[in-house]
A = this chain, B = another copy of it.
Amino acid sequence: MASTKIPNRIVLTEDQIPTQWYNIRADMPEDHDPYLHPGTLQPVGPDDLTPIFAEALCMQEGTPERYIDIPGPVLDYFKMYRPSPMVRAYSLEKALDTPARIYYKYEGNNTSGSHKLNTAVAQAYYNKAQGINRMTTETGAGQWGTALAMACAYFDMDLTVFMVKCSFMQKPYRKGVMETYGATVYASPSDLTDSGRAVLNAYPENSGSLGTAISEAVETATSTPNTRYGLGSVLNHVLLHQSIIGLEAKKQLDMVDEYPDYVIGCAGGGSNLGGLIAGYMQDRLTGKGNPYFIAVEPAACPTFTRGRFAYDFCDVGHVTPLAKMFTLGNSFTPASIHAGGLRYHGMSPMLCKLYNDGFLDEARAVYQREVFEAATLFAKHEAILPAPESAHAIRTAIDVALECKERGEAKTIMFGLTGNGTFDIGAYMQYHEGSMDDFAPSDEELEQGFATIPSLPGIQE
């Protein structure tokens, strides 16, 4: 391997952007278990979903098709910020003195700051194409809301965002970006929906949760003419859209004759990881290659590493379908770590199936401070301040590179750098000042969460 000839940034031209998404499910020996309707407990079909999501997205949610054409207007938008770079981390390798070759696929070079824009553009387009003129969504820290606001602005659609109240108060700038892109942003719980009013009546000082915000956004979508809801992770159609990351990544490493021994990504709801692994997971499922896949999650929210594989609700309010997934229980509330995007009790059912069946090889839980230690080292050597979520993957990539050093193995490591940390500097300051804490739930806290996983007579006890 003439590694000295590999450029720092492996650059694709826009005519090399994939024109089709890849659907991992098409190559899985067994599909994940179906979503269940929360009322009937029967498998959910497209018709159950079309009042909530655009029809094309409902079809994609269930499709067994291997490849789906990316619509022209979506590609037009992609060309404004894609292909994203694949970067050889020469400077980090040198700092670690490792024989491993480290690559990262960087999705942070756009105004939303993360990979979320990839599915936001697709979702806005399909809604627009159906004649929908308004979308609703929820947002926590604000990255997903920003991405969907950008996409809706471009396609001239209205967007209503329910933003978790504590973030709404603490992150006025995230709200400011969404408003600049024309979105209307409400603090959740709001008095605009039954779900919001119910919470406010019971707890007037409630500072909000993603669960409540989802309920408000779905309720608004289903009760307003010509309006649909958009979700930023977990679902199959979201992972499908994110496959653009992994397809580009494989093309880029192919160009320099590299094949990863390790593919490493952080996992919250699973949209980044599901996208990142797409190209290489196809190899694995079809016997053409055998990279080792590692999912990295926070010790504070250890869905894969300490969760149960069971049917559970996707939200706190139990208005969404049930999914068979690794879960900490729908009432589980992770500690307030800075990687807000990884604080979800469940996980993409597709990734959970892959993990349960041994195709996703390993999950690692890492602590917050070791994550920021890795992030700071990376920032110094690679000139990018990473998002705390992404830094989970950096931590594990560094650990694997150091394992390679111990064993003297020149392995190839590829990880996903999902976003930049521009809106997370408060967290870096806390780390710098030595006032950052580590968190992991006690066994008792986990048991409390598990207790809210429903008993489903005849399905699971």
Interface residues of A (CB under 8 A from B): 7-9, 11-15, 76-77, 79-81, 87, 90-91, 109-111, 113, 117, 150, 153-154, 172-173, 176-177, 179-182, 376, 379-385, 420, 422-423, 425-426, 428-429, 432
Assess the A177–B425 pair: CB atoms within 8 A.
yes
The complex places the Cα of A177 from the Cα of B429 at a distance, in Å, of 8
What B residues does A173 contact at CB under 8 A?
425-426, 429
A429 contact set on B, CB distance < 8 A? 172-173, 176, 179-180
Neighbouring B residues of A376 by C-beta, 8 Å: 180
Interchain CB contact under 8 A, A9 and B180? no
* Docked pose: A9 CA to B16 CA in angstroms: 12
- A87→B82 CA distance, assembly (Å): 12
Task: List B contacts of A380 (CB < 8 A).
Answer: 153-154, 181-182
In the complex, what distance in Å separates the CA atom of A421 from the CA atom of B99? 39
Max chain B Cβ within 10 angstroms of own Cβ: one of A77, A113, A376, A422:
A422
22 A-B residue pairs with CB within 8 Å: A7-B13, A9-B14, A9-B79, A11-B11, A11-B14, A76-B91, A77-B383, A81-B383, A111-B422, A113-B422, A154-B380, A154-B381, A172-B429, A173-B429, A176-B428, A177-B428, A179-B429, A180-B379, A180-B428, A180-B432, A182-B380, A422-B422
Rounded to whole angstroms, the CA-CA distance of A80 and B79 in the bound complex is: 21
- Complex contact A177–B9 (CB within 8 A): no
CB of A385 within 8 A of CB of B14, answer: no
What's the number of copies of this chain in the assembled complex? 2
Could you tell me the distance between the alpha carbons of A172 and B428 in the complex, rounded to whole angstroms?
12
Contact A110 B383 (CB under 8 A): yes
Q: Is the CB of A180 within 8 A of B91?
A: no
> Hey, which chain B residues are within 8 Å of A172, CB to CB?
429
Contacting pair B385 A177 (CB below 8 A): yes
CA gap between A376 and B181 in the complex, in Å? 8
How far, in Å, is A70 (CB) from chain B's closest CB?
Answer: 15
Residue contact B91 to A383, C-beta cutoff 8 Å: no
Q: How far is the CA of A111 from the CA of B422 in the complex (A)?
A: 8
Residue of B nearest to A430 (CB): B176
- A111-B11 contact in complex given A150-B383, A154-B91, C-beta closer than 8 Å: no
User: What is the minimal beta-carbon distance from A382 to any residue of chain B, in angstroms?
Assistant: 6
Q: How far is the CB of A12 from chain B (nearest CB, A)?
A: 8
Bound form: Cα–Cα A9–B84 in Å: 12
A111-B420, A177-B428 given; A91·B87 CB < 8 A = no
A37 to chain B, nearest CB (A): 38
Contact A80 to B153, CB < 8 A, known contacts A111-B420, A173-B426, A176-B426: no
Question: A420 to B87, alpha carbons, bound, how many Å?
Answer: 21
The 3 A-B residue pairs whose C-beta atoms are closest, nearest first, are: A8-B79, A176-B429, A173-B425
CA–CA, A173 to B429, complex, Å? Answer: 8
| Chain B residues in 8 Å Cβ range of A8 | 14, 76, 79-80
Is the pair A7, B14 in contact by a Cβ cutoff of 8 Å? yes
Assembled-state Cα–Cα distance A180/B436 (Å): 14
Q: A382 to B77: give the CA distance in the assembly, Å.
A: 9
Q: Complex Cα distance A25/B77, Å?
A: 41
Inter-chain contact A9/B383, CB cutoff 8 Å: no
Q: How far is the CB of A141 from chain B (nearest CB, A)?
A: 14
Q: A11-B14, A111-B420, A179-B432 are in contact. List 11 more A-B contacts (CB 8 A).
A: A7-B14, A7-B79, A8-B79, A77-B383, A81-B383, A109-B109, A113-B422, A176-B432, A177-B385, A177-B425, A180-B429
Q: Once bound together, how far apart are the Cα atoms of A179 and B380, in whole Å?
A: 11
The smallest beta-carbon distance between A330 and chain B, in angstroms, is: 34
Interface contact A383-B432, CB-CB below 8 Å: no
A7 to B75, CA, bound (A): 12
Write the nearest CB–CB distance from A340 to chain B, whole angstroms.
17
